[in-house]
Amino acid sequence: MPTIKLEVVSPDAMVYQADISMLIVRSIDGELGILPHHAPMIAGLLPCAMRVKLEDHEELIAVAGGFMEVQPDKITVLASAAETAIQIDPIRAQKAYDRAKKRIEEFNSAPSKHQDIDMNRAHLALERAAARLKAVSGKR
Ligand code: ATP
């Protein structure tokens, strides 16, 4: 089966490295599936649980956002933060999710009273937390 090298790099570490069959990511242009020998490209990534397909199983990697560079034999994901399922603290992710959701609900219930809430920031925090919870649950 043809494979392509995947490297996921965060500011702190090389998070993941493997020869994979396919990568599915959420980019700013929508969902992208990358197979071996894909044409070179660069894409901006949104918070997501990336699906990494290997020969006989699939893994989920949480990505907070960043960039992906594709070459025919290698995919490099440069993420602002990224974790494999085992690296994720689910309690922390759930707290971040609840915090962001509460902010969004507070704002929506009385926007004029909550001008201090940055909704874009709250939505991104919610999406990062949702991606972590998805990666840790193993359910896509
Ligand atoms: P929090 O509010 O819990 O910090 P966040 O979405 O604001 O969440 P980020 O800014 O995306 O966090 O990440 C900051 C650092 O913390 C990164 O190194 C990231 O890998 C790590 N991190 C964030 N959430 C978790 C988690 N639930 N489990 C493990 N590491 C995490």
Are the CB atoms for 77 and 66 separated by under 8 Å?
A: yes
Query: With a 6 A CB cut-off, is 127 part of the ligand 1 pocket?
Result: no
Q: What angle do CA 112, 114, 115 make, to 5 degrees?
A: 75
Cα-to-centroid distance, 82 and ligand 1 (Å): 9
pLDDT at 140: 64
How many domains does the chain fold into?
2
Query: With a 6 A CB cut-off, is 98 part of the ligand 1 pocket?
Result: no
**Looking at ligand 1, which atom is closest to the CA of residue 87?**
29
pLDDT at 6: 98
pLDDT at 111: 86
Please identify, among 84, 104, 126, the residue that sits at the C-terminal boundary of a domain.
84
Other beta carbons less than 10 A from residue 119's beta carbon: 13
Comparing CA positions, the residue from 120, 51, 62 lying closest to residue 92 is 62
Residues in the chain: 140
Distance CA 7, CA 5 (A): 7
21 with 48, same domain: the answer is yes
pLDDT at 138: 85
The model's pTM is 0.94
The series of mean pLDDT values per 10 residues for the chain, 140 residues long, is 96 97 98 98 98 96 98 98 97 98 94 89 97 90
76 with 26, same domain: the answer is yes
Please identify, among 84, 110, 126, the residue that sits at the C-terminal boundary of a domain.
84
Please identify, among 39, 65, 84, the residue that sits at the C-terminal boundary of a domain.
84
Residue 113's domain is classified under what CATH number?
Answer: 1.20.5
